[in-house]
Amino acid sequence: MAGAIAPAGASPAAPPAAERAAAAEPPRPRLRRQRRARADGVTKAPARSARWYGRERGRGSRSRRSGLAWVRAPRLFGLPEFRAVACEVSQDLERKEQELEQLKMDCEHFKSRLETVQADSMREKKEKLALRQQLNEAKQQLLQQAEYCTEMGAAACTLLWGVSSSEEVVKAILGGDKALKFFNITGQTMESFVKSLDGDVKELDSDENQFVFALAGIVTNVAAIACGREFLVNSSRVLLDTILQLLGDLKPGQCTKLKVLMLMSLYNVSINLKGLKYISESPGFIPLLWWLLSDPDAEVCLHVLRLVQSVVLEPEVFSRSASEFRSSLPLQRILAMSKSRNHHLQTAAQELLEDLRALEHNV
C-alpha cells in the first residue's frame, strides 16, 4: 500500500502530540541506574517510599505542589528489643510481687501487735476497775474509822472535860508522861478544825464540833489551876501560840463557842505573871484584842474585856505596851458596851473604863 504523498506547495501535516513529546524529551535511563546500583551491591529504596497521609492545610510539613502533610511510619521494634523490654517488665513484676509479699508480712505483724496491745489494754482496764473498787472500799472504811474515832474522841474528851474541873484530876493528867503530847495534839486538832471551816458553818451538835470544843474546854480547865497554868507557860507555849493564831483566823461571828473557850483559857493563863508577859509580848496582840471587840457576840466581847483588864491591871506589863494601847484603844466601842443590855458585858466595860481613868490620874 503506497504512502500518502503531500501535494507540492502544501504545508506538511503536524505530528501527533505523543510524537512531539518523545521528540522534545529524551527517555529517562531509570533501568540503567537500577542495574548499576545492583552491580555495586547497594540497595536503595525506590522513590517516594514513605507513606503519605492526608492532613489539613496549614498543619505539619506540607508538599509544595499538593499541599498535603506527610509523616513517616513509626519504627517497629525488632525481636531482641522486644525480649529486652519483656525481661525488664518481668523483673519489675517480680519486684512488685516481693514488695506486696513484704507488705502482707508487715500487715500480719502489725495485726498481731494490735491484738496483743488490745489484750493488754483490756487486762489493764480490768485491773484498774478492780483497784478503783478497792480504793472506794478503802475510802469507805477510812471514813467509817474517822467517824468512829471522832465519836469516840468526842465522848472521851467530853468526859475528861467534865472531870478536869477538879484540881486532883488536873494534877493526875499533868503527872503522866502523855500530857505534853496530848496538848500538842490538841493544838493541831483545833488548827485543822478551823482551817476546815473555810467560811462554812458546821452543825453545832456534830461529833466533830463537840470533840474540838471538849479539847478547848480541857485546856481552859487546866489553865484554871495554878499548876496547870505553870505547865502551859513552861512546857506548852506552842499551844498558846496556836490559840492566838486561831483567834485571828476566825471571822467575826464565826464559831463563837470555840472563841469563848480559847479566850477563857488565855484569861486563865494571864493570871500567871509569866503567862501574861508571854501573851502580851506576842506580835499583834493589842490589835488582835481590838479586832475581837468588833465581834457581834456579847460573850466573846465580855472575855476580851476581861483579858484587856488583866493587861491594864498589871503595871509591869502595861508599861511596855502603853503607847500602842492608848493610840489604838477603841474607846467608843467600850463606851457602847458599858451601856449594853447584857449585864455582864456592861459591868466588865464599866470596870475597864474605871481602870483606864485611874491610870490616867496616876500618870
pLDDT tens-place string over residues 6-28: 444 444 444 555 455 444 455 55
What is the chain's length? Answer: 363
Mean pLDDT of the chain: 81
Mean pLDDT in residue range 300-315? 94
Is the pTM higher than 0.75? The answer reads no
Interval 227-250: pLDDT, tens: 999 999 999 999 999 999 999 999
Instruction: State the Cα–Cα distance between residues 258 and 219, nearest whole angstrom.
Output: 12
**What is the predicted pLDDT for the residue at 164?**
92
- Model confidence band, residue 202 (pLDDT cutoffs 50, 70, 90): low
pLDDT digits (tens, 9 = 90+) for 338-347: 999 999 999 9
Lowest mean pLDDT among 125-134, 269-278, 300-309, 325-334: 325-334
pLDDT of 100-149, one tens digit each?
A: 999 999 999 999 999 999 999 999 999 999 999 999 999 999 999 988 99
pLDDT beyond 60 at 180: yes
